[in-house]
Amino acid sequence: MESLFEQSSLFLQQLVNGITLGGVYALIAVGYTMVYGVIQLINFAHGEIYMLGAFLAYTMVTVLGLPFFAAFALTLVICAVFGILLDLIAYRPLRNAPRLAALITAIGMSIFLQNLALMIWGSQIKSYPREVLPPVFSKAAWTFGEVSLSWLQVFILSVTVVFMILLHLIIHKTRIGTAMRAVSQDKTTSALMGIGVNRVISFTFAIGSAMGGMAGILVGLYYNAIFPTMGYIAGIKAFAAAVLGGIGSVPGAMLGGGVLGIAEVIGAGYISSEYRDGISYAVMIAVILFKPSGLIGRQIGEKV
């Protein structure tokens, strides 16, 4: 730890780790932020969809013996359907109920799904078999002194970026995207303008859940560990990322995820690894208190 060179390569390496983690947070955060943008609900069960994504792919690979990339694609589809069902069963009936009721339902769903997974898969940590990915993924893609970037990290980051760009295009260049933006501005007026509001909401849930499920698989690969309670902490952190970036904004989620990932890794590496999770909570509370609109979010006023 003596030389400046070593110090800076340590920092660079932590930065690389942080950005990878941040990419994953961003993928989960997108689900929160889009749903919140459209129906103003913190979908607490979103973290569980992330967890289910990881487990579904795991089951497909180990039990059904599907090739990894097929399992990957299939998981995205199932998670999307799952998101739609979640909305249909749990949230839609409460659309006009007090917000407290919807929030409690969201928490209830989260707890329910988490324990369902506990019953199905057990509480022990599971790992994807090593063979699922071509061996090249564990090799370094790029090395500079002590700093290295593995192909897996490259894979995670590029998947994140590609899907984010895709999402941005969907929201801003397609009809359904325009409809989503309209619904998030004003549901009633959108309905009057002939937009199928429920269809738009379902679509939002589908996209967000697919991204969440994908994040679950990527994390499972990256850390080699999936377990039923993984969605609980990751979900809250991703929500913190969404708030940090500005809730309702997709680029905001990306930025928030990146910043939070780096803050967490640097904090764990330099300040205190015991308080690592505390860093995200503290960031979240501070942002909510002092700048509730987030880094690049739009101002949200209480609708009267």
Partner 1 sequence: MKKILGILCVLVMLSTSAWAESKPIRIPVAAAFTGQLASFGEGIQNGALLKGEEINARGGINGQKVKIVLEDELCDPKEAATVATKLANDPRVSVLVGHLCSSATLAALPIYRDAHLPAISPASTNVSIGKMSPYYFRNVYRDDFQGLFLAKYAHHIKGYEKVAIFHEVNDYSMGLMLAFTKQAKKLGIRILGTEAYTADTTDFKPQLTKFKMMKPDAIFIPGYAPQGTLIVSQARSVGMRNVDFFGADGLDDDLMLKNPDAEGLFVTTPFLPDKAGPQAAGFIKAYEAKYGKVPNWFAANTYDAVGLAAQAIGAVGQDRVKIRDYLASLNSKEKAYEGVAGKTYFDENGDCLKDAFVKKIKDGKWVGAEKQLR
Partner 2 sequence: MPRPQEVNRSQVLIIGLVLLALMLPWLPFGASTNYILRVLTTAVLYMILALGLNIVPGFTGLLDLGYVGFYGIGAYTSGLLAIHYDLSLWVILPLAALNGALWGILLGAPTLRLTGDYFAIVTFGFSELVVLVLRNELWLTRGPMGLPGISPPSIFGHPLTRDWEFFYLIVFLLAVVFVVVRRMEDSRLGRAWFAIREDEIAAQCCGVNLIRYKVTAFAISASIGAMGGAFYAKWFKFIHPDMFKFWESILILCLIVFGGMGSIWGTMLGALILIPLTEILRAVLPQSLFSARYLIYGLILVLMMRWRPEGLIPFESAQAEKAKQTQKRLTGLVGKE
Interacting residues with partner 1 (CB under 8 A): 1, 6, 9-10, 13-14, 17-18, 21, 122-125, 130, 138, 140, 146, 148, 150, 219, 223-225, 227, 229-230, 233, 264-266, 268-269, 273-274, 276-277
Minimal distance, residue 133 CB to partner 1, in Å: 12
Residue 150 touches which member of partner 1, partner 2, none, C-beta under 5-8 Å by kind:
partner 1
Nearer CB in complex with partner 2: 214/268? 268
Distances (CA, A) of 164 to 18, 31, 77: 18, 12, 17
Structure tokens at 76: 């995205």
Minimal distance, residue 272 CB to partner 1, in Å: 8
Nearer CB in complex with partner 1: 31/261? 261
**Helix ranges restricted to H, the chain:** 4-39, 46-62, 68-86, 99-121, 151-173, 175-185, 187-192, 197-223, 230-245, 250-266, 276-290
Minimal distance, residue 40 CB to partner 2, in Å: 8
Residue 138 touches which member of partner 2, partner 1, none, C-beta under 5-8 Å by kind:
partner 1
Distances (CA, A) of 214 to 72, 163, 219, 266: 7, 10, 9, 25
Distance in angstroms (rounded) separating the CA atoms of residues 109 and 304: 29
Residue holding tokens 């019953």? Answer: 119
Nearer CB in complex with partner 1: 86/268? 268
Residue 125 touches which member of partner 2, partner 1, none, C-beta under 5-8 Å by kind:
partner 1
How does DSSP classify residue 225?
-
CA 175 to chain centre: 25
Distance in angstroms (rounded) separating the CA atoms of residues 26 and 79: 17
Cα dihedral value 9, 283, 33, 109, nearest 10: 110
Residue 185 touches which member of partner 1, partner 2, none, C-beta under 5-8 Å by kind:
none
Nearer CB in complex with partner 1: 25/32? 25
Residue 282 touches which member of partner 1, partner 2, none, C-beta under 5-8 Å by kind:
partner 2
Nearer CB in complex with partner 1: 177/212? 212
Name the site residues for partner 2 (rule: CB under 8 A): 40-42, 90, 93-94, 97-105, 107-116, 118-119, 122-123, 232, 236, 239-240, 243, 272, 274-275, 277-278, 281-282, 284-285, 288-289, 292, 300, 302, 304
Concatenate the DSSP letters of all residues of 97-154 into one string: S-HHHHHHHHHHHHHHHHHHHHHHH-SS-B---GGGS-GGGGSEEEEETTEEEEHHHH
Concatenate the DSSP letters of all residues of 279-304 into one string: HHHHHHHHHHHH-TTTTTPPP-PPP-
Minimal distance, residue 84 CB to partner 2, in Å: 17
Minimal distance, residue 22 CB to partner 1, in Å: 12
Residue 124 touches which member of partner 1, partner 2, none, C-beta under 5-8 Å by kind:
partner 1
